[in-house]
Amino acid sequence: MPLVKIDLHAGKDAEFHRKLSDAVHDAMVATIGVPVADKFQIITEHNVGDLVFPPLYLEIAHETDIIFIQIHLNAGRTVELKQALYKAMASGIAEAVGFNPKDLIINLVEVRKEDWSFGNGIAQYVPAP
């Protein structure tokens, strides 16, 4: 179960959010085996100046219109799968909303299965004793 946090500058409409959300989820389904129904996302808009980043990092010049995506997910995927995810996400978002992929920052946070609860105060991925 990935939990996706998407941070971007304010001013995008609901249709942009929907297309962005779908592009992110579609990339995870296609590359890292996320089930279609497993879609948990938080989209947060910020005022200009609230997202802090350098204008140039690792030879990539970033513009004002930047998107940060952080994905908390179960540990264990290979480097190759992660790279495929990054590429699919960049191309999918570029196609869906016309966003420049150079301004897409993606971070994966790997956690253990016992680090999730889907309700009722139970860690559903942990076998019952």
pLDDT, tens digit (0-9, with 9 covering 90-100), for 80-108: 999 999 999 999 999 999 999 999 999 99
Angstrom distance (rounded) from CA 56 to CA 48: 18
| Per-residue pLDDT tens digits for 12-65 | 999 999 999 999 999 999 999 999 999 999 999 999 889 999 899 999 999 888
In a domain, 123, yes or no: no
pTM above 0.75, yes or no: yes
Tell whether 126 is covered by a domain: no
Distance CA 58, CA 52 (A): 16
Q: Is residue 127 part of a domain?
A: no
Please determine, for residue 125, whether its predicted confidence score (pLDDT) is greater than 90.
no
- For the segment 3-25, what is each residue's pLDDT rounded down to a tens digit? 999 999 999 999 999 999 999 99
Could you list the residue range(s) of the whole structural domain that residue 85 is in?
A: 3-115
The answer on pLDDT for 120 being more than 90 is: no
Count of domains for the chain = 1
Q: What is the CATH classification number for the domain harbouring 43?
A: 3.30.429.10
Which of 76, 73, 16, 62 is closest to 43 using CA atoms? 16
**Residue of 22, 117, 5 lying closest to 67 (CA atoms):** 5
